[in-house]
Structure 1
Amino acid sequence: MEDFRFDKDADGIVTVTLDMQGQNANTMNARFEPGMRAICDRLEAEEGLTGVVFASAKKTFFAGGDLHDLLAIETANEELFAGIEASKAVYRRIEKLPVPTVAAINGAALGGGYELCLACNRRIVVDDPKAVVGLPEVTLGLLPGAGGVVRLTALLGLEKALPYLLEGRQAKPATALKQGMVDEIVAGADDLVPAAKAWIKANPDAHTQPWDQKGFRYPGGGAMEPRVRQTMQVAPAMLFQKTRGLLPAPEKILDVAVNSMRMNFDAALRYETRRFIGLIVSPEAKAAISTFFFGMQAIKSGAVRPEGPRWQASRAAILGAGMMGSGIAYAHAKAGLPSVLKDMDAGKAEAGKQYSAGLCDKAMKRGRMDDAGKAALLDRITPTAQDADFAGTDIIIEAVFEDIALKEKVIPETFKQLSQDGIYGSNTSTLPISILAEACPDPSRFIGLHFFSPVDKMKVVEIIMGEKTSQDTLRKAYDYVQQIGYMPIVVNDSRGFFTSRVFGTFMDEGLQLLQDGMDPVAIERAAWSAGMPVGPLAVFDEVSLVLGQKVSQTHAALDARLGVESGYGKHNTATPAVIGPMIAAGRGGRQYGGGFYDYSADGSKTLWPGLSQFAKGNAEISQADAVDRILYRQAIETLRCLDEGVLNTEVEANLGGIFAIGFPAHTGGAIQFIRGVGIDAFAARAAELADAYGERFDIAPTALDRLRSEKVAAA
């Protein structure tokens, strides 16, 4: 009982305070159900009981299910079903008590925590933006399994409940009150229990839930109401458009929500349990919990950050006012970091600032910014053509054109403007940091900071360690990336680093399929079916074929200069074979008027008919093979990066692949995808692809040995 404090006042009101021992937050761990069962036994036997208040001794109210426990479950069986039903039974007993019950919500009440609140007759929340309520299980590949789907649908009605169930939205106090998710807001945490007790005294008979009352009607209408029936008919198609059928959790949530309106309440709760236990053991749930909860937690907490005090830049400079440089300046200004945006031409620097003005205007149209906010943001960007204007700055981001000679000229000229303990970052996408560092007066303070386009939307930065980059510089770079609200992914130096290497394999495999004779429409469709945001041919047009060719030429020149063959992109044989003739035909990509697609003035596009010339054969490639080729090609290259030491951790491999490259999120990332398929099964399928399509699908034996030896994909 140490996890639950039981205090009865003179008026007969019991306050049950949740305080799970040895934890920072209350969770539905192994002690939860027995403890709550004992509480229910005592409440049901308590003489003179007039009401119950559920409160928390933690900073948050209740965090819900213990994800460590859920991740460890491997089999859906009767024992699991019985365990979930037992946990749900205590909530049902709470709402069947013959006295009013109130949830006093002092902080975040999410998942199982909010489900406890839903089982109470009233929900009172403190006026604190951190006191959010909601059911975010869908983001972890699960559904609310402690009555959340059934009760929220009954509380709000189907139409209002679905966004919170299918998207995992969390509501701050004011929104939660407006939506009907809570009933009252109090000014401070100390006001919660008194307000709860006052309501109980004023409403001694308010102990029957709406759905347990005779004649209950769903808000917004029942299952047979025309408006609700229309929602039921349209929702599956809209859901499939978003998930592509790759995420089972939203589909099962919709199924439970709709069918709960067609059966009695207790049957609906059992139906919810059946759907829940199937999701617990699904690869999608394992992937989401491993990557999006524990993985993100590791990144945010600095598990892969060098030890040392937190560092914060107070002034920054960006060199080059092109699209990347202008985007970085906007990211700085939005995060409150004053920056100088420098270009050789003052007019270009001013135009770079206007890029931020344009983004502000878009935010204002959406109601996310006002005139004062725009003015304040733009005041943090100083365009200039003079190096002296950023003397003494804490961090310089070099974002000039991807030309090694230009970078080697700019770096030593501008490094002298750094403060004594400042750091210098190069926004290169493929050029080796160790080679660029040779032009830097102090290579220990030089590091790669690879942003992605468009910078305002792609909130991840690949931090590249050079051979002489110090751990102190890495620590500062890591803190800087988090300071501006972006996700840091740390990698070691190599040609193309991690993201560009893997991204190149995705685009190349699209061209390999083209050469094999697959219809271009089917290629793009296969990428869509795999879960990629955009097809490889469309992506090539957006980044431009010309840029792809220049990158290859740059690395060829670098090989000649160093007298070595780096092997960069050695498996990407289809790329030069296709883009060379395309560029020669005047088809360099979207910005050049057309590439793999033709573009119309109205914004529509169609695949260029001339692509048939690149088909070397007329192979009948199945959709399943095409999907696997697209996914396995990227996963194998990610595995190579991990095996070669370019990547340090599986966490960064997974999150970097999803957020920087667009590897399908439902897999949990490339390495988690391998684990989800099964290491041996993945190896066998890769061998099949290698036999059928070439050595690019070969896997070094040592690469999988590491995965076998490390059971948990953690930092």
Structure 2
Amino acid sequence: MTYKNFTVETDADGIALVTWNMPDKSMNVFTVEVMDEIEAIVDATVADEAVKGVVFTSGKSSFSGGADLTMIKGMFSMLHEEKVKDPANAVQKLFDAAGRMSWLWRKIETNGKPWVSAINGTCMGGAFELSLACHGRVASNAKSVKLALPEVKVGIFPGAGGTQRVSRLTNAQDALQMMTTGQTLTPQRAKAMNLVHQVVEPDQLISAAKQMIKDGLKPVAPWDEKGFKAPGGGIWTPASAQLWPAAPAILRRETAGNYPAALAILKCVYEGLQVPFDTGLRIEQRYFTQIVQTTEAFSMIRSLFISLQELGKGARRPAGQPKSDIKKVGVVGAGFMGASIAYVTAAAGLAVVLIDRDMEAANKGKAVAENLVAGAVGKGKMTKEAGEKLLSLITPTEDYNTLSDADLVIEAVFEDRDVKKAVIEKVEAVLPEGAIFASNTSTLPITGLAKNSKRPVDFIGVHFFSPVEKMMLTEVILGEQTGDKALAVALDYVSMIKKTPIVVNDTRGFFVNRCVFRYINEAYDMLIEGVPAVMIENAAKMAGMPVGPLSLNDEVAVDLSQKIMKASIADLGADAVVPEHMSLINKMVDELDRRGRKNGKGFYDYPAKPLKKSLWPGLKDLYAQKKPADVDVTVLKQRLLVTIALEAARTMEEGIVTDPREADVGSILGFGFAPYTGGTLSYIDGMGVKTFVELCEKLAKDYGPHFAPTPLLKEMAQKGETFYGRFDPYGAVKTAA
């Protein structure tokens, strides 16, 4: 029998090698078709008496990334359609669909013949759960091999037996830590946790897997044998008596109760360890069915799984533009930002010329890249040879003539219009016809900068976030005259450096910075009202933000906030900035020299290591302090999230952002907006636009007109619309404009 996605070869020893190699896919993923073929292979190998055992591996450099987009979308579409017709039956169908993979893996586990998973590369989610259902597991020791059950990061949890098998293979504490955080394991760590049996050289992987079968591997899982006990003795032991009472509290400390899937993992493990294995699978299946129906799961899967992949694959790329042939990139400005851009560009295999005013400055820029390479090599994330190759692609220079054959030039000089104007003129004097000029400005409108260009159709913004090598988001900004080719080249470049782009139209602060400074400004309001700084920071974290607004302000620099405020007043008038905000920041910078982390003192104090940062005690002396008991933490949380979401809604109304996927993904990747919400617009859709408008009106009454809902929001509330309904990203072919 032949299969579309698998080959099956049985050797003289009766061992069937099943190789998963999906055509036209860079990575194997689970689809309904793949599942059907796996089941057919199980049936065929069981029926074939010549087959003594099965080795399951991948024909690609990775093992599998887990479920396919279409499979996830299909589950949600089915649920939505069935709920309209028959709500009760919809849940039953969801329950059955949720259990398909789980019971298929159980079929492998109980088929009567030994199966060994030979893990040759990245093995995530359902693929790792399949491996755990095999009787033997062998992993290559290649650095590319990573194993994880990361489902909690997209709002769900390992629902194909993961919670039951991991907790029966390793101790409960490690199992919970791994699954509630989505922790990625090396093969060595997985072996130490008893999740794989052997770690071998890549060229020995298949032979080692076959040898396990030849050595008499039993086709029975440990939990199916009489007398099985979970590591540590299960639930009713002294160690468990210490673990389980504290586990929910520890989880709440880490998640603030915002991630129901993480709590469901605790329940699955705690309840599952007290019952037979098959009953444990049914417990897992029921909790999975419940979690999939939550707003958090729907929103997180849509934004962090589906939309993230769609944007990464060029969802906003203009139709009809040929694939860009980018071979050489120029980076002008060898400061930390420019040097980091050169680093990620060279890491993608592209030649880079790194230009600055003189060779000393250019060489300093390359030294930044050298330090980044040294750090990556030291941590084992890059080989010495790969690091040397990367650095060989970066050429520091002061000569603009080296740009005469560049395909793309990225300007990353100081945020000053005159400085950028001079750079644009120098670059365009030598830049070949058809090459694209991109500015990395973070605050200056692209249309204004493009007025200095002789070919504004080839002028675009590409805004990186610091640290460039870690931040996965890039804003691509369209000027009024930016053409489709410039957009296509920018998006292709961002794809090559393995970052996720969002496309935004031109405005001061673009999308991310507008939202970030709205978050910070709300914290200024709270400080001025007398809310203790520690309550502001803790409320932000309880709301799901990764860092508090005052800590974030220190990171971006308090004096940068001052510069932006002054520039806004100069360009837009005094009303562009709240006077009390300006007074606060002027005092922090000019009187107290508290500029943020960079000079060791801002809203926080930054003592020498190993001491940790702490809020500056003097903050409480700036304004009369309220008693903590008089401050409603729930309202603080609402204000911090609502002010950001409202700003995101304004960008949609103004046409700055035109696709809700980009507002959601951009807000999470750009500044960590409460991931459990699915992003800024999913936060609004999740509670309902009508409810959001009512909340805005209440906050506006109590805390100021900046909370007033926009005309668009009021209209949507009246019509019962959602952002994903009104601005349906799939309703028509999206264009850049």
Shorter-chain TM-score: which interval? 0.7 to 0.9
Q: Which residue of 1 aligns with 2:585?
A: 579
Q: Which residue of 2 aligns with 1:285?
A: 297
Give the counterpart of 2:76 among 71, 74, 99. 71
Q: Deviations over 1:268-316 (max 9, x none)?
A: 2233233222211122211221011111111121111123232243332
User: Which amino acid is 1:595 matched to?
Assistant: G
User: Which amino acid is 1:581 matched to?
Assistant: K
1:448: how far off? 1.0
Does the Cα contact within 8 Å between 2:565 and 2:577 map onto a contact in 1? no
1:617: how far off? 8.9
CA distance in 1, matches of 2:588, 2:701: 29
User: Which amino acid is 1:286 matched to?
Assistant: F
Q: 1:692 to 1:97 in 2, by over 3 A?
A: same
Q: 1:278 to 1:354 in 2, by over 3 A?
A: same
Figure out how many residues of one structure are paired with residues of the other and give that number. 704
Q: Give the secondary structure class of the aligned counterpart of 2:373.
A: helix
1:107: how far off? 8.2
Does the Cα contact within 8 Å between 1:393 and 1:417 map onto a contact in 2? no
CA distance in 2, matches of 1:376, 1:706: 49
Q: 1:667 to 1:385 in 2, by over 3 A?
A: same
Does the Cα contact within 8 Å between 1:448 and 1:465 map onto a contact in 2? yes
Q: 1:186 to 1:368 in 2, by over 3 A?
A: closer
Q: 1:228 to 1:3 in 2, by over 3 A?
A: farther
User: Which amino acid is 1:482 matched to?
Assistant: S
Counterpart mapping for 1:131-530 below 5 A = 134-158=148-172, 161-162=175-176, 164-169=178-183, 180-182=194-196, 203=216, 206-219=218-231, 222-223=234-235, 239-307=251-319, 308-369=321-382, 371-530=384-543
Q: Give the secondary structure class of the aligned counterpart of 2:339.
A: helix
Q: Which residue of 1 aligns with 2:84?
A: none
Q: Which residue of 2 aligns with 1:660?
A: 670
CA distance in 1, matches of 2:122, 2:368: 38
CA distance in 2, matches of 1:361, 1:124: 32
Q: Give the secondary structure class of the aligned counterpart of 1:341.
A: strand
CA distance in 2, matches of 1:598, 1:19: 54
Q: Give the secondary structure class of the aligned counterpart of 1:636.
A: helix
1:464: how far off? 0.7
Q: Which residue of 1 aligns with 2:641?
A: 631
Q: 1:108 to 1:362 in 2, by over 3 A?
A: closer
Does the Cα contact within 8 Å between 2:156 and 2:261 map onto a contact in 1? yes
Q: Deviations over 1:302-347 (max 9, x none)?
A: 1111232322433323222333223223323333333333332443
Q: 1:327 to 1:236 in 2, by over 3 A?
A: farther
Q: Give the secondary structure class of the aligned counterpart of 1:439.
A: coil
Counterpart mapping for 1:10-21 below 5 A = none
CA distance in 2, matches of 1:278, 1:246: 16
Does the Cα contact within 8 Å between 1:109 and 1:131 map onto a contact in 2? yes
Q: Which residue of 2 aligns with 1:562?
A: none
Q: Which residue of 1 aligns with 2:133?
A: 119
Give the counterpart of 1:669 among 679, 689, 705. 679
Structure 2 residue ranges without an equivalent (≥5): 81-86
TM-score by length of 1: 0.84
Give the counterpart of 2:618 among 609, 616, 634. 609
CA distance in 1, matches of 2:530, 2:208: 71
Q: 1:615 to 1:490 in 2, by over 3 A?
A: farther
Does the Cα contact within 8 Å between 2:169 and 2:193 map onto a contact in 1? no
User: Which amino acid is 1:140 matched to?
Assistant: V
1:697: how far off? 1.6
Q: 1:706 to 1:494 in 2, by over 3 A?
A: farther
TM-score by length of 2: 0.82
Q: Deviations over 1:431-465 (max 9, x none)?
A: 11111111112111111111112222223221111
Counterpart mapping for 1:90-101 below 5 A = 91-101=105-115
Give the counterpart of 1:709 among 725, 730, 733. 725
CA distance in 2, matches of 1:257, 1:495: 50
CA distance in 2, matches of 1:224, 1:494: 61
CA distance in 2, matches of 1:173, 1:593: 40
Does the Cα contact within 8 Å between 1:138 and 1:250 map onto a contact in 2? yes
Does the Cα contact within 8 Å between 1:446 and 1:466 map onto a contact in 2? yes
Q: Give the secondary structure class of the aligned counterpart of 1:421.
A: coil
Q: Which residue of 2 aligns with 1:643?
A: 653
State the percentage of identical aligned residues: 34
Q: Which moved more, 1:537-546 or 1:459-468?
A: 537-546
1:19: how far off? 11
CA distance in 2, matches of 1:329, 1:20: 35
Q: Deviations over 1:86-110 (max 9, x none)?
A: 7645544554444545567798764
Q: Deviations over 1:661-702 (max 9, x none)?
A: 221222111011112222222222122212222221222232
